[in-house]
Structure 1
């Protein structure tokens, strides 16, 4: 059934992309963009009525049949349609075709719906579809169709709903011919999102679409100023999605004339300047998003108070400054506030506590200060996500937060919070993600005892706290059974890697770097079968790399199958003297073991097929580079530097086709650097500090014979001297006899 109708019936489910609910960019567009989905129940009711208006009949005209066969002829992959669309059968029985009783200029027009979404179609869209006289709904979404969008379809006199989203369509949209301007007024829904359309968005005859209700052009490559003429020509326009394009310039003040507009999304473009005051005249708005642009200015309280129907406010990733206005507390319907990554300052207004329907508050990466407790969170019983990281909040965690029983994500990292964790944090029974990193919390033993009762925790980030404390191997810690990410980096903590971590059988990522942990790497680490990211670097661990570490099941598989759902939650990445934080979305399989480890690299290392990054540098490892490393065919980063490795560089290292970073410097390797592959592209610094290595990228050329004097064995030195004297005497006597013979002959 048509995707839009399905979405309307399933509201508020967000499982299926639709015209009203665009999802992330299609993979076939090779874009990695995320989009939020919003419910539009009134529009759904309208569209369901439209979809149910046609009654089924059993035949179609020869003209309609030919038009559909022209579509089939233009497909290089038909998804099995040819088997259904057989000659000699009525097209009303064909797959994806619906017929109804309608009349147009006295002719019975049977075909009302062409619904071929997600059929694995490839090829072009036939202009003949625009000639179907009774076509109301055309859905070709979620395929791999390419080429342009025929202007004949846009100028159709009958189409009401057009959805070609999530394809490979490209080129510029054309202005419609003057003859089609009157007929195009019927169209109500246009969804061309998630394609590769480019150029400026056309105006001209597009302004004549007086019935337009929904326009979604998101996730394309449109340039130039953002279109705004719809607010004048289309008084019923309720949804306008321009996000994920390359629109530039200022936000059009004309958008304030859209009296029926409920959803305005223009995020992820290159818009600049301030939000015009006129935009706050669009008082029907319930979703306003200009995220990830270059907008600036302050959020005026007099303007924001006009949007009393607002449910979602998303202005994150811009350059807004100033305070959050007190008037925001009067927006009683507000459910989401996203102001992260701006330059906003000041203390939080207590009025935020009046937004009693608030579900998500994201203020990350600003310059807010003061006590978080200025907001009475006990009134926010619906709050599910609170993100205030990377600010300058002070004091302790306010006790009122612990009354938010629905809270599942609490992100307080990189602030100036202090004190010990409260026992009341156990009241947050729904908590799954907790980030307290880089504050000044104390008493790690107490914190772990308290947090183990949070049975639903999947992510725990507490690094950068508990300065110089000892992490005890407390056997009474038996919780954290659902934990998938544990981060206790950069404290620095003393002691051994605690045994209780061995009980975390669902653990996928473990960050313990930048501490003072000692002892050896425990062999029980192989029991963490889901582990794919392990960073133990910059500690004082000693001993050999245990061969058991190569038995971790996840790392032995060909591909990591993580079950993490982190969205925008951040986790630490060590990339220098201090950690950086990044999102989980693209985390590879990694093993980082920079310490004081000795012995050889285990030959079993080649079993870790999933590894994309192997960093064993800055240890005291010896022996040769094992040939089994060549079995790590997915490897992108290999660091074996600053060890005591000997022997030659394996020639087949050139066969690691994905290797883009290599560092084997400062070892005792010898012989030529293998040539004729992508090892030739690595810089000299990858091989420096190995005096016996030679190659064109090094100062030592392999064509020069290197004479290395070996130490002399004293026991053989006397033998060599005796042999030299004897040889000299023998040679001298021989010469003398030759001279005597020559003299006798001459005489």
Structure 2
């Protein structure tokens, strides 16, 4: 609201009756005469507006003849000079006018999260005599950043954020040398090449934040970074850095966040170096080539909240001193060669833990009882280790669990496990496959619970018995979709999704979390219960490699969202229900190696399935088969073995579609092809 102004005309018929009133009126009149932005600065703003090809509706507010201090996104100082231009997320398109740098009172320029393009006019903005904060992140600026050779002893710029654009070339080192007051630089998510500029700390003694992640920087990490006595955040993940972390780096004792994931860094983590970073809160060195033991001095990092050392070549036992990191929330050690009994770690002192990821290691023994004191756990992944024994009733304390993956160990007593877990109301993903070998799954129809379960996997266990009807009670299955940033393809919708199985998705903008039931490769008998049709949200159903008999329930036709249906390698009889051709989303279908008969349905998706979907059923005819329905002769069964065909089915269909929510790393993903306990784990992660 504009302030009220007294009339200041000299012809006013009412004059003040005393000196005080006259003085007050004089002050108010002088104030009103300057209560408008400077015309020259207004012209600069209008020039900027004219250069936009899309103004996001700014022209409705930015009108000549009005006070530009009242325009949208503009604030002025006491001298009515423009101090802030805050136009983030305004749907702006076009190029930036370099004349903005001539606004001598401008302190903050924020044009982030728009669609601005072209080259960034560093000269005039970075070299401005007034700008302190410059944020042009999340736009479409491109090209190489120009080198600035302007001789100036003082540049006020303190924060420069050019992240998430399309910049290329080497980072301008000469420009860095003259940014004397720089405190924070974020150049992440671009395509810069070359080495890290090493002069930042020398010329900017207060430099505290450097984020160069998701670029194409290479070479070694410069030892000069150790001179950054005020550096708190150093991030360089997803680049091409090689070699060890320089010893000098650990002289930057103010570091709170050290992050270099997904590079080619190597060497060992030295006890004497780690202990110097006593203020460290986040240490992220995953997806590199580090080897050796986890240093015992890690326990002296009292402020440590996140430890990410996954996907390296670390070996040996976990140091018992880890229990001293009482603020730890995330422990990510997946895909290493770590071993030993976890019972040596006092997890009771780590009550703040929310995520534990030990996927693909060589840990053995039972799950330590102290881990059940971590009542804040939302995700626990112990798959592909050598754990054994039964689930403890104390596991009931982990009621916050949303994600539990313990597949491919040697756990026993599946009935006890299910009765413990059924009351976990927050549990959405449950991966139990490869355990409970040759046990009988009790067909207890009174079992309930699992009301929020979205993914259940108990394949590869050679279980026996009839499929339990409680599976059909999982009626709250959902199919949420993950949204990803279009520029980086990093998932941004679910906290800690990196843990759940998709660190990042290359060449895709979206990834589905599939609603799946996978009980393949067991020994289940009896008929497929028609009640399974109550799972309306189900989009993947894999019952292959069991001993199911009877006919394919026509009720499956009610699962209208099915994308994949695999009933292969069972003892099913009868015909293929014609109504299945109404499943419009069905893209993978397999009923091979059963005893089905009659004509293969036509129309709909059935016109897209090839011969391999139906082979091994000599009584079937029509469709893609050479055995026509009017022929009296039946084709013989294929000569290839069931196991070979089954492998083709599993690798060609299941693995290609199945694992989008937490399962990708659990079953298939390694950064390198690696042999573990005689099991070949295939890498699909780099291909996705």
Which interval holds the TM-score relative to the shorter structure?
Answer: 0.7 to 0.9
TM-score (norm 2): 0.76
The corresponding residue for 1:594 is 568
Any idea what the Cα deviations from partners look like across 1:11-34, whole Å, max 9, x if unmatched? xxxxxxxxxxxxxxxxxxxxxxxx
The corresponding residue for 2:148 is 176
The corresponding residue for 1:101 is 78
Give the direction of change, closer, same or farther, for the CA distance of 1:593–1:157 in structure 2 (3 Å limit).
farther
Give the direction of change, closer, same or farther, for the CA distance of 1:591–1:115 in structure 2 (3 Å limit).
farther
Deviation, 1:131, is 2.3
CA distance in 2, matches of 1:463, 1:349: 30
Q: Larger Rg: 1 or 2?
A: 1
**Contact 1:603 1:628 survives alignment (8 Å):** no
The corresponding residue for 2:48 is 71
CA distance in 2, matches of 1:170, 1:603: 55
* Residue range with higher mean Cα deviation, 366-375 or 71-80: 71-80
Give the direction of change, closer, same or farther, for the CA distance of 1:134–1:405 in structure 2 (3 Å limit).
same
SS of residue paired to 2:527: coil
The corresponding residue for 1:545 is 552
Give the direction of change, closer, same or farther, for the CA distance of 1:377–1:538 in structure 2 (3 Å limit).
same
**Contact 2:584 2:604 survives alignment (8 Å):** no
SS of residue paired to 2:265: strand
CA distance in 2, matches of 1:171, 1:479: 56
CA distance in 1, matches of 2:527, 2:96: 64
The corresponding residue for 2:251 is 281
Say which of 526, 532, 541 aligns to 1:519. Answer: 526
* Residue range with higher mean Cα deviation, 387-396 or 446-455: 446-455
Once the two structures are superposed, the pairs formed by residues 332-351 of structure 1 within 5 Å of their partners are: 332-351=302-321
Give the direction of change, closer, same or farther, for the CA distance of 1:309–1:628 in structure 2 (3 Å limit).
same
**Contact 1:622 1:643 survives alignment (8 Å):** no
TM-score (norm 1): 0.71
1:86 aligns with 2:63: yes
SS of residue paired to 2:445: coil
Deviation, 1:62, is 2.6
Give the direction of change, closer, same or farther, for the CA distance of 1:58–1:169 in structure 2 (3 Å limit).
farther
Say which of 91, 98, 123 aligns to 1:120. Answer: 91
Does 1 or 2 have the higher relative contact order (CA < 8 Å, sep 6+)? Answer: 2
1:493 aligns with 2:463: yes
CA distance in 1, matches of 2:410, 2:578: 43
SS of residue paired to 1:518: strand
**Contact 1:175 1:206 survives alignment (8 Å):** no
**Contact 1:625 1:646 survives alignment (8 Å):** no
1:144 aligns with 2:115: yes
Give the direction of change, closer, same or farther, for the CA distance of 1:333–1:471 in structure 2 (3 Å limit).
same
Give the direction of change, closer, same or farther, for the CA distance of 1:548–1:476 in structure 2 (3 Å limit).
closer
Give the direction of change, closer, same or farther, for the CA distance of 1:343–1:81 in structure 2 (3 Å limit).
same
1:59 aligns with 2:36: yes
CA distance in 1, matches of 2:142, 2:85: 22
1:531 aligns with 2:538: yes
**Contact 1:213 1:234 survives alignment (8 Å):** yes
**How many pairs were matched up?**
554
CA distance in 2, matches of 1:282, 1:314: 16
CA distance in 2, matches of 1:228, 1:87: 47
**Contact 1:529 1:554 survives alignment (8 Å):** yes
Say which of 315, 320, 325 aligns to 2:295. Answer: 325
**Contact 2:153 2:180 survives alignment (8 Å):** no
Where structure 2 has 5 or more consecutive residues not aligned to the other structure, the ranges are 1-33, 478-514, 630-688
CA RMSD after TM alignment: 2.3
CA distance in 1, matches of 2:589, 2:205: 59
Once the two structures are superposed, the pairs formed by residues 281-430 of structure 1 within 5 Å of their partners are: 281-430=251-400
* Residue range with higher mean Cα deviation, 63-72 or 223-232: 63-72
Once the two structures are superposed, the pairs formed by residues 487-636 of structure 1 within 5 Å of their partners are: 487-507=457-477, 508-552=515-559, 554-555=561-562, 589-596=563-570, 597-611=572-586, 613-619=588-594, 620=596, 622-629=598-605
